[in-house]
Structure 1
Amino acid sequence: MIPAAFDYHAPTSVDEALQLLAAAAADGKDVKVMGGGQSLIPVLRLRLAAPEVIVDLGRIGDLADVRDDGDALVIGAMATHDTVLRHELVRQHALLLALATETVADPQVRHRGTFGGALVHADPAGDLPAPTLALGAEMVIAGAGGERRTVAAADFFQDLFTTAVGEGELLVQVRVPKYTGWGACYEKFNRISHAWAMVGAAVALKVEGGTIAEARVGLTNMGSVPVRATGVEAALVGQRATSDAVRVACAAAGDGTTPPTDANADADYRRHLAGVLTGRAVLSAAGA
């Protein structure tokens, strides 16, 4: 199908983009922001959305950077998935993000889709929110007048397809603490290759002498927002990275979650999968 008619703008700076958003709002027009367009364009073609204005961020070059900022990495919202999964700094200091990004769709999508776009889209079955939550990332949001605010990942994802980015605002950067030397693994289960995750487990571990010293675990598609499995994290710390110990610690990963029931699986099956996948991810991250 062909999208409904809309006014198209391609600003070259964040300030210009914010001004365009403000002007559209002042005129009472429905406006959508486009990152890589991998989620928006199909919706436009099906006419499930018919905005009057589209603001395309693709020409704002400084939003695509990945840089070292002392104790954190700063990833621009317009960095493509391919950039994130291949970037040396990401693989060295935030390996979990690279491994999760490698499972997103296919190479064509990864070369066009953007890191920030996937986070703002906030699909609970998307592969990037849970790793971002597990790593304690912070989202930098720009608003009118050049003001910027920082929101923790735990507060950023608010509901199904809903984030802390308000009207007239843009996600511009993601700050990710460094986990240099940590093991990592992202396990997801789906019925067909490149599909959305029925369930996913994002794990980063610090292992010392065969014992798990620190653990961070996020779950994909186990509720309307990504889930931080703090109970599993606590149970893992101090354990030897053996199959038996890990299986016991991860068995309850799905407890207290509210996964969907749909044509692919019911909620109980997803809870079972969460425990299995988390255990596999922990053992892989620990090198066991």
Structure 2
Amino acid sequence: MLPFDFDYYKPATLKEAVDLYQDLDQHGKKPMFFSGGTELITLGRIDLEYTEAVIDIKDISETKVMQVNGDHLLLGSTLTLTKIEEANPFPLLTKTASEVADHTARGKITLGGNICARIFYREAVLPFLLADSQVLLVGPEGKKMVPINEIFHEQLQLKKGEFLVQLVSDTRFIRAPFVSIKRRQQWNMGYPLITIAALKLDHEVRVAISGLCPFPFRSKELEASLNNREIPIAARIDAALATLPKPILDDVEGSAQYRLFVLRNLLLDVWAALNS
């Protein structure tokens, strides 16, 4: 149970959801868009999340889309990770998200909920960063399509009253060779230490990482170092590690030094898998 009460709304259209948010906000209700609810329940119980009005967007048809339209795959933000895994329209996404939490939780966690969450990991965003995907947002200014690599900086930079509707990915990235590896300190139990997702396109390896820093990221500088074929792979990885963003996590799951050790070996594994 949550230690606070809230009003619950379930709009049927994008416009209704946006208008409802504005109205509730004007009345000081601290509204929140809601697609899965796992984070609200988890953080609300420890007083890290609070709202007086929940706007559940799961009934809005545009947020439930899973289809290929020409050369693009459209995935709605309220699709659960389990539903995506079962349909497997984007194998790299399926592999990367398949070990988020446990099977029961993945049946409730939505794509948008994971990407927009406050937790460090948010592994579901990694394939979209690699695929140069577009995000469809809606808010008081209407709909807009934005490249995810322009709007995801440590987190999805949503304006007040905006929410994620869909992610759109070019199918050439979906067909590209890929690898996704998750390392945990405690074998198959507990939070991941590091998750790395990578794909190879036009002879270049792209890499995105979760669990190393307090946010998931893709680094063009890291990729440039890794793909510099003029020097040995060990030297490339040394150069890549020198480009990492800060801070490196140092917690009960693993020290910063240990995380860097794990990442070094993961980068070797990724390079070997995509260049064998």
User: Aligned residue for 1:282?
Assistant: 271
The percent of aligned pairs where both chains have the same amino acid is: 23
Distance 2:33 2:146 in 1: 20
Residue pair 1:4, 1:47 contacting (<8 A) in 2 also = no
Distance 1:34 1:61 in 2: 15
- 1:223 equivalent to 2:213? Answer yes
The one-letter code matched in structure 1 to 2:272 is L
Residue pair 1:141, 1:170 contacting (<8 A) in 2 also = yes
Extract unaligned runs of 5+ from structure 2: none
For the residue of structure 2 that corresponds to 1:196, the secondary structure is: strand
Residues 228 and 49 (structure 1), Cα distance of their counterparts in 2 relative to 1, 3 Å cut = closer
Distance 1:254 1:171 in 2: 32
Distance 2:17 2:220 in 1: 38
For the residue of structure 1 that corresponds to 2:224, the secondary structure is: helix
- 1:255 equivalent to 2:249? Answer no
The one-letter code matched in structure 2 to 1:267 is A
**Cα offset for 1:23?**
0.8
**Cα offset for 1:249?**
3.7
Distance 2:34 2:88 in 1: 27
Match of 2:112 among 105, 110, 116: 116
Deviations 1:105-153 (Å, cap 9, x if unpaired)? 11111111111111111533221223321221221110126x1122322
Residue pair 1:64, 1:80 contacting (<8 A) in 2 also = no
Distance 1:61 1:229 in 2: 34
> Aligned-pair RMSD on alpha carbons?
2.5
Residues 40 and 247 (structure 1), Cα distance of their counterparts in 2 relative to 1, 3 Å cut = farther
Distance 1:27 1:8 in 2: 15
Q: If the length of structure 1 is used for normalisation, what is the TM-score?
A: 0.84
- 1:125 equivalent to 2:125? Answer no
The one-letter code matched in structure 2 to 1:255 is A
- 1:66 equivalent to 2:37? Answer no
The one-letter code matched in structure 1 to 2:34 is M
User: Aligned residue for 2:15?
Assistant: 15
**Cα offset for 1:30?**
1.0
The one-letter code matched in structure 1 to 2:122 is G
For the residue of structure 2 that corresponds to 1:121, the secondary structure is: coil
The one-letter code matched in structure 1 to 2:259 is R
Residue pair 2:62, 2:166 contacting (<8 A) in 1 also = no
Distance 1:10 1:40 in 2: 16
Deviations 1:234-288 (Å, cap 9, x if unpaired)? 355486xxxx9655544444323221222222223222222211222333345x4
Q: Report which stretch shifted further, 10-19 or 226-235.
A: 226-235
Q: Report which stretch shifted further, 274-283 or 32-41.
A: 274-283
User: Aligned residue for 1:210?
Assistant: none
Residues 194 and 17 (structure 1), Cα distance of their counterparts in 2 relative to 1, 3 Å cut = farther
User: Aligned residue for 2:194?
Assistant: 199
Residues 256 and 180 (structure 1), Cα distance of their counterparts in 2 relative to 1, 3 Å cut = closer
Residue pair 2:199, 2:274 contacting (<8 A) in 1 also = yes
Residues 117 and 194 (structure 1), Cα distance of their counterparts in 2 relative to 1, 3 Å cut = farther
**Cα offset for 1:223?**
2.8
Residue pair 1:82, 1:111 contacting (<8 A) in 2 also = yes
Residue pair 1:158, 1:164 contacting (<8 A) in 2 also = yes
Distance 2:180 2:262 in 1: 14
Residue pair 2:222, 2:243 contacting (<8 A) in 1 also = no
Runs of 4+ aligned structure 1 residues displaced above 6 Å come to none
- 1:172 equivalent to 2:165? Answer yes
Distance 1:87 1:67 in 2: 10
- 1:153 equivalent to 2:148? Answer yes
User: Aligned residue for 1:87?
Assistant: 87
Residues 83 and 285 (structure 1), Cα distance of their counterparts in 2 relative to 1, 3 Å cut = farther
Extract unaligned runs of 5+ from structure 1: 208-212
The one-letter code matched in structure 1 to 2:156 is T
